[in-house]
Amino acid sequence: MPLPTLVTNATITKQGVDALRRRIGVPMRLHPHNGQVTRDAIRRFTRGVGDGNPLWTDETYATHTHHAINPTPPMFLYSVVCPSGDLAGGLPGVHSFHGGNDWEFQRVPHVGDRITASATLTDVVEKQSSYAGRSVIQYVDVVYKDQEGEVVAKARGWSVRTERDAARQRGRYAGLPSDKYTPEKLRAIEEEMDHEEIQGNKIRYWEDVKEGDSLGTVVKGPLGLEDVETFVAHVHGAMAMGRHAAYLQRHPAWVYRDPETNYYEPWSQVNFLASAAQAVGIPRPYALGSQRVCWLGHLLTNWMGDDGFLAKLSVTMTRPTMHGDTQWCKGTVTRKRVENGQHLVDCDVWSEGQSGEATTKGTAVIRLLSTSVQLWGVAAGKS
């Protein structure tokens, strides 16, 4: 059987961009990872993210909340279909980075739901980047529906397509922060990871929140191979052996030859193998964009408690996060408002690395309970 012809270091051409543009609006064929919301799927998802909130996985706990049954973390939808620009493919041999996501949530899926997704390429924009020169941003809109056909959430995802050779030659990220930690620093990180605050069943009322309040911190790190592996395994899934062989025959533009074994590896090995990451100008293997949005989701759900509802989340990747890096996920309340009777809190969210630089930036809108709510004509809140 002839070896597949690989395209690994292509340049961005007008024909390539035009061909990609022709896909705008054309329905895509998706390969969902999870279709059913089961306890198994939720447990695996939360293990991949490192989210120990009992609301997601403790059956008894959930019966004592208004959910009555385990809901999914909002970010669970990444395990159905990752809303990424490169769902649309195109530009064979040109690298793809997850650029960010805008999420709008209608309701929280729970155990027993079935979720389907549909996606369309909505825009293709050319841009200059300091990382790799000429680049293309492609936008994909994904709609998630439940078994009744009701919309559960909508997401926009964008991918930044860059030339691998150009990125490597420019070497913009050659000087990223070191992954060496003093024993004291490491102890402090472990201490923080061990004492994560979860609001849980203590209701966080809108009236108790002040502009400028901190959302606390969720720490992820130092990022080890197993952290990334567990995320990919449980949230996106992977194909092995004969199934992997079938994939590389279908998608020769998404594989490369491993320099050691000479066999085919998918480009997604940039998340695990130094040889792949360095081929795109990143010194060490790096975390996935989807993974980093999930970490911010973890921060927000810890803070808002079981009765809060994450209505919107927008996150942009600003710098890569590599193996060995530690991320502090943080946020602050920027504004409080009441809209259509809903008590909303606007927040800034971001994650920063061990040298203090921001690696993601975003905003979130959270709906909280109010002490002034009336139920059946009586004041049902605290006041």
* Binding residues for other proteins (CB under 8 A): 1-3, 33-36, 38-41, 43-44, 46-52, 179-181, 183, 186, 190, 193-194, 196, 218-222, 224-227, 229-234, 237-246, 249, 258, 260-266, 268-269, 272-273, 324
**Which residues on neighbouring strands pair with residue 103, listed in sequence order?**
155, 313
24 or 274: whose CB is closer to other proteins? 274
Least CB distance to other proteins at residue 294 (A): 10
Shortest distance, position 192 Cβ to other proteins, whole Å:
9
Q: How far is 322 from 359, CA to CA, in rounded Å?
A: 11
Name the minimum Å distance from CB 140 to other proteins: 23
- Taking the complex as a whole, the smallest distance from the CB of residue 78 to other proteins amounts, in Å, to 14
CB of 207 to other proteins, least distance (A): 30
In the complex with other proteins, the residue whose CB is nearer, 196 or 213, is 196
Q: Are 161 and 136 in contact (CB under 8 A)?
A: yes
For residue 152, give the H/E element and its range.
strand 151-162
Distance CA 199, CA 194 (A): 15
From edge to edge, which strands make up the β-sheet containing 116-129? 116-129, 133-145, 151-162, 95-105, 309-317, 358-367, 342-352, 327-339, 214-220
In the complex, minimum distance from the CB of residue 233 to other proteins, in angstroms, rounded to a whole number: 3
Kindly tell me which of 174 and 263 has the beta carbon lying closer to other proteins.
Answer: 263
**Residue closer to other proteins, measured from CB, 36 or 363:** 36
Query: Please, are residues 332 and 213 in contact by the beta-carbon 8 Å criterion?
Result: yes
Q: What are the CA-CA distances from residue 47 to residues 42, 72, 73, 134, 191 (Å)?
A: 9, 13, 12, 38, 19
Q: Which two tokens stand for residue 82?
A: 């990752």
Cβ at position 40, least distance to other proteins in Å: 4
Cis peptide before 222 (omega within 30 of 0): yes
CB of 74 to other proteins, least distance (A): 18
Q: Are strands 264-266 and 133-145 parallel, antiparallel or unpaired?
A: unpaired
Q: By the 8 A CB rule, do 98 and 22 touch? A: no
Q: Based on CB atoms, which residue is closest to other proteins, 29 or 243?
A: 243
Nearer to other proteins, 221 or 331 (CB): 221
Q: Are strands 255-257 and 133-145 parallel, antiparallel or unpaired?
A: unpaired
Nearer to other proteins, 165 or 196 (CB): 196
* Residue 156 DSSP SS3: strand
Looking at the Cβ atoms of 2 and 377, the one nearer to other proteins is: 2
